[in-house]
Chains A and B, each alone.
Chain A
């Protein structure tokens, strides 16, 4: 139907490659809004910060607050606990206590076991995870059990001596 004579093959190849490239880039760009729509929506992102008033937490007590839907443990440690933690380096994932707190009397950790995501229960000396028996101390450091890492310290800062913003 179309004669091969007079066909500039190089020009053909260039046009085909250029068209194909523009088309591929266009399709990829058109995919982006759909992929992006599955990311957290604006109202979910607006929940990213949690403000906590610490004044009601007595020494030795713990409060659990929700941050991004996850539990965050806030422990008001007493002087003995602070002293005990300062002397220990932790267990499987050694870290000095001062790297885990901003003010020694306030420990703030994400209450999700680093093993498989259960919420550990508070004990006298720290936490015990009910799912697979990981044991954490009062600095949130794992001492024994299958958990690979210490409890995560979330980003937070003090806006007042007794008020923090997590996130």
Chain B
């Protein structure tokens, strides 16, 4: 009976063949490490955020007189409201943590290179959409940090030449962040995830066309691919289990870890809290904003610090496969960049001051220098590696790749 139903569907819709081609038999490099788990985790978190967000929206009221109290209502009166809210607030932080690791993996292994540029760029769009959604969602509890965060970030658009003030007024729909702002942020916070889901589908269609990269950086022969199911379904779900242990640890034992104490105070447009910081995932970019003592320059630098990732496929001129694995100089730059981002995050969390500002400027210069010097040292590094002979591990990989492979080295 069930088989007859499936046959009936298969004559009209490619159900079985689709599942076979894209899920169960989908060829996956067998050498993927757990660093390749984070895309799956991001997908899980997207679902979790949508589900918990929809249920929060059933009880939340986007009105300046009601918003803060409705969040307290969710915490105290709604059955399991505390759990759903903490899942959503912790989920936002976890989402960024997972996405940052996902990006770091792509940078380390050079997975942004041909033929995966469109994956990298759709991922870049996803990062911006995620940031927009997180920023607008942060206003909704209508606490002090919510309000002043939104006030500062919308003010950034005031740096637009000529029509800055008009743009800020238009964004807010009010002279300050007010009722109109809260209402539209709620509407858009609910809307943006639709775009994220659509972009994730594009990301996945691209992935299934070019297939996963792998730690060796070389297109593997057919014999080195294994079916996604059961090998990677099992691996992904095991990774999810480990992730959930950490995630639930925060949700149940330290749910306020990611919530600024000042945000437990209702928004007050007449009083800025003494020390205002963005959420941790915006800190590095916030530090870059503060490194330049000019509004337009700071906003431009901050925007560029996010958008510059999109240039990676052009900036990296090396054809040595495997990203940082076989490229000592690139590897060093990668770790310098990671440490630099962590320094910027720390700087962003500190009150502005003399020494902090100097470190901030230095870290910002290093941040951009890592990107902008890449075209030169990646070329130099490739010549140097060829001149002294490729590492034996890489040569073995290149030799073992099957002959008819059109592209042995990632471009």
Please name all residues of chain A whose beta carbon is closer than 8 Å to the beta carbon of B80 when the two chains form the complex: 33-34, 36-37
Say yes or no for A7: interface residue by CB 8 A criterion.
no
Interface membership of chain A positions 86-97, coded 1 if the CB is closer than 8 angstroms to chain B and 0 otherwise:
000000000000
Within 8 Å by CB of B51, from A1, A34, A38, lies A34
- Decide: B77 and A42 in contact? CB cutoff 8 A: yes
Give the interface of B toward A (CB within 8 A): 30, 51-52, 55, 58-59, 73, 76-81, 83-84, 226
| Docked CA distance A142–B224 (Å) | 79
Interface membership of chain A positions 44-70, coded 1 if the CB is closer than 8 angstroms to chain B and 0 otherwise:
100000000000000000000000000
- Decide: A41 and B77 in contact? CB cutoff 8 A: yes
- Decide: A39 and B79 in contact? CB cutoff 8 A: yes
Identify the closest chain B residue to A16 (Cβ).
B230
| Docked CA distance A39–B51 (Å) | 17
- Decide: A37 and B84 in contact? CB cutoff 8 A: yes
The 3 closest A-B pairs by CB, nearest first: A33-B80, A41-B77, A42-B77
| Shortest CB distance A144–B (Å) | 42
Sample of 29 A–B contacts (CB below 8 Å): A33-B79, A33-B80, A33-B83, A33-B84, A34-B51, A34-B52, A34-B80, A34-B84, A36-B79, A36-B80, A37-B55, A37-B78, A37-B79, A37-B80, A37-B81, A37-B84, A38-B55, A38-B58, A39-B79, A41-B59, A41-B73, A41-B77, A41-B79, A41-B81, A42-B76, A42-B77, A42-B78, A42-B79, A43-B73
Give the interface of A toward B (CB within 8 A): 1, 33-34, 36-39, 41-44
- Decide: B79 and A1 in contact? CB cutoff 8 A: no
| Docked CA distance A1–B222 (Å) | 12
Q: Which of B58, B76, B78, B84 has its CB near the most chain A CB atoms (within 10 A)?
A: B78
| Docked CA distance A108–B261 (Å) | 51
- Decide: A41 and B78 in contact? CB cutoff 8 A: yes
Please name all residues of chain A whose beta carbon is closer than 8 Å to the beta carbon of B76 when the two chains form the complex: 42
Please name all residues of chain A whose beta carbon is closer than 8 Å to the beta carbon of B81 when the two chains form the complex: 37, 41
Please name all residues of chain B whose beta carbon is closer than 8 Å to the beta carbon of A44 when the two chains form the complex: 77
Identify the closest chain B residue to A41 (Cβ).
B77
Identify the closest chain B residue to A45 (Cβ).
B77
| Shortest CB distance A18–B (Å) | 14
Identify the closest chain B residue to A34 (Cβ).
B55
Please name all residues of chain A whose beta carbon is closer than 8 Å to the beta carbon of B226 when the two chains form the complex: 1
Q: Which of A33, A37, A43 has its CB near the most chain B CB atoms (within 10 A)?
A: A37
| Docked CA distance A44–B73 (Å) | 11
| Docked CA distance A34–B79 (Å) | 9
Please name all residues of chain B whose beta carbon is closer than 8 Å to the beta carbon of A36 when the two chains form the complex: 79-80
Please name all residues of chain B whose beta carbon is closer than 8 Å to the beta carbon of A43 when the two chains form the complex: 73, 77
Please name all residues of chain A whose beta carbon is closer than 8 Å to the beta carbon of B59 when the two chains form the complex: 37, 41
Please name all residues of chain A whose beta carbon is closer than 8 Å to the beta carbon of B30 when the two chains form the complex: 1
| Docked CA distance A33–B248 (Å) | 15
Please name all residues of chain B whose beta carbon is closer than 8 Å to the beta carbon of A42 when the two chains form the complex: 76-79
| Shortest CB distance B110–A (Å) | 27
| Shortest CB distance B68–A (Å) | 16
Please name all residues of chain A whose beta carbon is closer than 8 Å to the beta carbon of B83 when the two chains form the complex: 33
| Shortest CB distance B76–A (Å) | 7
| Shortest CB distance B53–A (Å) | 11
| Shortest CB distance B47–A (Å) | 12
Please name all residues of chain B whose beta carbon is closer than 8 Å to the beta carbon of A34 when the two chains form the complex: 51-52, 55, 80, 84
